[in-house]
A = this chain, B = another copy of it.
């Protein structure tokens, strides 16, 4: 059973009011939940700065599947990194455009390097890496 701790936070009534308005808009049920989320995000940033630990990233790329040899190139990069790449999901956006999300696990350096290779592949129209966590160090 996880131990829960409780501590007090003090702030001006006005600041708290503004915070309450903003988190209501975002859909949070309680202040604690919003604060926990902000704290976790703050910690995930720290996990990515720390080169030694294991983190998780999602790369999303959009490309035209008709581009010559593009699918093969993307598949090659993924296969040569099969230990780090957990899975890929493919979406057909229209007759030409595809979107692929690739989930990668490893050191922040390794994930960035695989992401850069996927994004730099000729014919990929847009690509970005989203940095997240294995969840192990974030409760």
Listed in ascending order, the chain A residues whose CB lies under 8 Å from chain B are: 2-16, 18-19, 22-23, 26-44, 46, 56, 58, 60, 62-64, 86-87, 89, 91, 93-94, 96-97, 99, 101, 103, 105, 116-117, 119-120, 122, 124-128, 130-139
CA A11 – CA B7 in complex, angstroms? 9
Q: Which residue of B lies closest to A30 (CB)?
A: B122
The secondary structure that dominates the A interface is mixed
Contact status of A35 and B9, CB under 8 A, knowing A103-B91, A134-B93: yes
Contact status of A3 and B10, CB under 8 A, knowing A63-B135, A99-B132, A132-B60: no
Copy number of this protein in the oligomer? 4
Q: Which residue of B lies closest to A86 (CB)?
A: B91
Q: Is the CB of B22 within 8 A of A12?
A: no
Q: Is the CB of B42 within 8 A of A22?
A: yes
CA A43 – CA B25 in complex, angstroms? 12
Q: Is the CB of B5 within 8 A of A58?
A: no
Q: Is the CB of B97 within 8 A of A136?
A: yes
Q: Report A134 CB to chain B, min CB distance, Å.
A: 5
Contact status of A116 and B27, CB under 8 A, knowing A11-B36, A91-B86, A130-B130: yes
Residues of B within 8 A of A128 (CB): 41, 130-132
